[in-house]
Amino acid sequence: MKIVVIGATGTIGKAVAQLLKDKGHEVIEASRSTQPAIDIADSASIDAFYKQVGEVDAIVSAAGDAVGGPIDKLTDEQVQFSINSKLQGQINVVRKGLPYLRPNGVFVITGGFLAYKPAPQTSMYAVANSGLEGFAKAVALDLTAGRRIVIVHPPWVAETAAALGMDASPWPNAATTAEAYLAAIEGSANGQPVFVEGYDPTA
Ligand SMILES: NC(=O)c1ccc[n+]([C@@H]2O[C@H](COP(=O)([O-])OP(=O)(O)OC[C@H]3O[C@@H](n4cnc5c(N)ncnc54)[C@H](OP(=O)(O)O)[C@@H]3O)[C@@H](O)[C@H]2O)c1
């Protein structure tokens, strides 16, 4: 399959791209710093990217950011950034990707466990993750010709936890997390969330 991975230079995206290449797929690795580049917070950039890449069998997004902080300290700019990047950015990756996704193709977008298990100072992540989950459920009803959409909700990834000075031992590494994206691509889920095996926050 020809698969776009947006966020392919990041902790999760790099592992997803590697796993997909190991499985023999043709992977177009994309981010703001690749060629062609894509900035999911910039509509025109998404259009230009898809125009250059053409039709594909899967579009994976492991990109988009939000700002953490206590609700009484978040600025208008931080709230807007979080919505533009992680939430609206991935909504636009799907909307604008529709004409380029072949029949039976799949969109895989990224939320996170904070949709289910919020922690203090994570309200904007929770907004993006929960919003994207509702988006995926509804978009699944609009898709045609066997096309699907799946949202992966990763837990903390060990590499990220370690970089933040947290105990990484309870968490899967990026390579294990990437397996959930592969399962989303190879499986038949549509509109449903997919979790890393053993890290279902609803369990
Ligand atoms: N790591 C975790 O523990 C964890 C847990 C739960 C959920 N998540 C979610 O998973 C996603 C990926 O996380 P990560 O830890 O892998 O992030 P990361 O290491 O910071 O990497 C982010 C990737 O996205 C790209 N990117 C960032 N903003 C972009 C934009 N506006 N347009 C296009 N590409 C952009 C970055 O490359 P450029 O800078 O070159 O654009 C990079 O490739 C995020 O949505 C995050 O919230 C992560």
- The rounded Å distance from CA 7 to ligand 1 centre is 6
Torsion angles phi and psi, residue 80, rounded to 5: -65, -40
How does pLDDT run across 157-170, given as a tens digit for each residue?
Answer: 999 999 999 999 99
Q: Please report the atom of ligand 1 found closest to the CA of residue 9.
A: 43
Task: Output the average pLDDT for the chain.
Answer: 97
Pocket test of ligand 1: the residue of 4, 31, 129 to mutate, having most ligand atoms within 8 Å of its CB, is 31
Q: Distance (Å, rounded) from C-alpha 151 to C-alpha 129?
A: 9
Q: How far is CA 139 from the centre of its chain?
A: 15
- The rounded Å distance from CA 85 to ligand 1 centre is 10
- The rounded Å distance from CA 10 to ligand 1 centre is 5
Q: Which domains occur in the chain, in start order?
A: 2-195 (3.40.50.720)
Q: Mean per-residue pLDDT for 85-97?
A: 98
pLDDT of residue 59: 99
Confidence category of residue 203, pLDDT binned at 50, 70, 90: confident
How would you label 96-105 residue by residue, b for 16+ Cβ within 10 Å and e otherwise?
bbbebbeeeb
User: Hunting for tokens 């590499």 — which residue is that?
Assistant: 159
114: pLDDT strictly greater than 90? yes
- The rounded Å distance from CA 129 to ligand 1 centre is 13
**Dihedral in degrees, nearest 10, Cα atoms 175, 176, 181, 182:** 90
Residues with CB under 6 A from ligand 1: 6-13, 31-33, 38-41, 62-65, 85-86, 89, 110, 112, 154, 156-157, 160
pLDDT of residue 47: 98
138: pLDDT strictly greater than 90? yes
Q: Mean per-residue pLDDT for 142-147?
A: 98
Q: What is the layout of strands, in order, in the sheet containing 101-110?
A: 26-30, 2-6, 56-61, 101-110, 148-153, 193-195
Q: Distance (Å, rounded) from C-alpha 53 to C-alpha 41?
A: 18
Count of residues for the chain? 203
